[in-house]
């Protein structure tokens, strides 16, 4: 199936949010339900999604020890997609959220369990309904059923909310199909899907990303690697966010597709998909942040034209 020709964003939210990228943010908040307790451990929140109209964005600065924890947990979580459903920075960046399908996973993942137990104030274990494996299977199912149906915009794993997001145009055939999928209960009785209304833009439409003239007098540094984790679209502006949630401002031409799935950077464009890494040279903080897409972000500037893709392994 050629999803690109249908203008569908078919994305898998990365297992390691803000580390491996590919996160799909959506207007859904986590709300605590009945707590469950793992043997010998602290209370573990069982969470469920509640759709709201407010988009969630990260704020604040992550302490070094929190960043180290998410980097330690990331590879462990990725290795066991049947046990875990992701790991992410909390929206205030002051702690790590570890999503697991059971409260006690010591037997299946002793290393991850030890890290969580050794850092009870920094690692919040969230028990969720579905594993990464289940979410990806459900995403594939929805993508297969979308073939030939008009009105689809997004089919994406939403890691933060442990669901598959079905983005559809209101009143379309896709909305009817998505509603049927969302009404199907899973083995545990909960739906693995939720429906979100979106506008399906034209295939060739692009939106400018923030750019400024290159800085002068700086010394190019060795290539630094960043991850494009999200492109916020608003007010006809594309706002690319890197792994720490900061806006990236370029010193060379940059545009995004109108669905927010990729960037084109440079005179001879380098294409960077959401979730992919990119290299650059001299990067500096933008004092006071930067306004983009109707929001204010902490921001960095790639001060000289230097964006490339990492070499293939």
Task: Mark whether 14 and 70 lie in a shared domain.
Answer: yes
Predicted pLDDT at 243: 87
Task: Mark whether 232 and 188 lie in a shared domain.
Answer: no
- Do the beta carbons of residue 42 and residue 120 sit within 8 Å? yes
- 132-156 residue pLDDT tens: 999 999 999 998 999 889 888 888 8
Predicted pLDDT at 6: 40
Reported confidence tier of residue 52, pLDDT bands at 50, 70, 90:
very low
- Do the beta carbons of residue 61 and residue 285 sit within 8 Å? no
Task: Mark whether 147 and 286 lie in a shared domain.
Answer: no
Predicted pLDDT at 98: 95
- Do the beta carbons of residue 167 and residue 194 sit within 8 Å? no
Predicted pLDDT at 312: 62
Rounded to two decimals, the pTM is 0.58
Reported confidence tier of residue 80, pLDDT bands at 50, 70, 90:
very high
Residues in the chain: 313
Task: Mark whether 17 and 104 lie in a shared domain.
Answer: yes
Task: Mark whether 129 and 181 lie in a shared domain.
Answer: yes
Kindly state whether residue 34 falls inside one of the protein's structural domains. yes
C-alpha to C-alpha distance for 22 and 44, rounded to whole angstroms: 26
Predicted pLDDT at 215: 83
Positive or negative torsion for Cα 129, 191, 144, 152: negative
Kindly state whether residue 141 falls inside one of the protein's structural domains. yes
Q: Where does a domain end: 153, 177, 200?
A: 200
**How many structural domains are present in the chain?**
2
Kindly state whether residue 313 falls inside one of the protein's structural domains. no
Task: Mark whether 178 and 111 lie in a shared domain.
Answer: yes
Task: Mark whether 115 and 184 lie in a shared domain.
Answer: yes
Residues of the domain holding 236: 206-302
Q: Would you say residue 40 has pLDDT above 50?
A: no
Mean pLDDT, range 80-94, rounded to an integer: 89
Task: Mark whether 65 and 94 lie in a shared domain.
Answer: yes
DSSP result, 154-170:
EEEEEGGGTEEEEEE-T
Question: Which residues partner with 124 through β-bridges?
Answer: 97
Please report, rounded to a whole number, the percentage of residues in the chain having pLDDT higher than 70. Answer: 77
Task: Mark whether 136 and 160 lie in a shared domain.
Answer: yes
Range with the lowest mean pLDDT among 23-37, 47-61, 239-253? 23-37
Task: Mark whether 132 and 187 lie in a shared domain.
Answer: yes
């Amino acid at each position: 199936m050629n999803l690109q020709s249908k203008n569908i964003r078919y994305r898998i939210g990365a297992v390691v949010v803000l580390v491996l990228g590919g996160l799909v943010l959506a207007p859904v908040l986590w709300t605590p339900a009945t707590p469950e307790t793992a043997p010998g451990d602290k209370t573990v929140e069982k969470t469920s999604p509640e759709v709201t109209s407010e988009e969630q964005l990260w704020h604040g600065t992550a302490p070094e020890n929190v960043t180290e924890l998410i980097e330690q947990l990331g590879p462990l979580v990725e290795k066991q997609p049947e046990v875990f459903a992701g790991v992410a920075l909390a929206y205030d960046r002051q702690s790590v959220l570890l999503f697991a399908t059971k409260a006690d996973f010591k037997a299946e993942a002793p290393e991850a369990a030890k890290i969580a137990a050794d850092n009870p104030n920094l690692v919040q274990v969230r028990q969720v309904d579905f594993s990464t494996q289940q979410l990806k299977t459900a995403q594939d199912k929805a993508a297969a059923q979308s073939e030939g149906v008009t009105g689809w915009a997004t089919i994406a794993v939403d890691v933060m909310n442990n669901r598959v997001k079905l983005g559809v145009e209101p009143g379309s055939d896709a909305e009817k199909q998505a509603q049927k999928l969302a009404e199907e209960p899973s083995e545990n009785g909960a739906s693995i899907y939720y429906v979100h209304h979106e506008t399906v833009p034209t295939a060739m439409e692009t939106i400018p990303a923030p750019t400024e003239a290159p800085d002068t007098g700086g010394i190019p540094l060795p290539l630094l690697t960043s991850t494009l984790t999200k492109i916020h679209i608003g007010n006809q502006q594309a706002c690319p966010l890197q792994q720490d949630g900061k806006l990236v401002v370029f010193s060379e031409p940059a545009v995004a597709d109108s669905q927010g799935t990729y960037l084109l950077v440079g005179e001879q464009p380098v294409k960077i998909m959401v979730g992919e890494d990119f290299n650059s040279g001299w990067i500096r903080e933008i004092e006071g942040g930067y306004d983009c897409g109707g929001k204010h972000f902490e921001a960095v500037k790639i001060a000289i034209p230097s964006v490339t893709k990492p070499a293939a392994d």
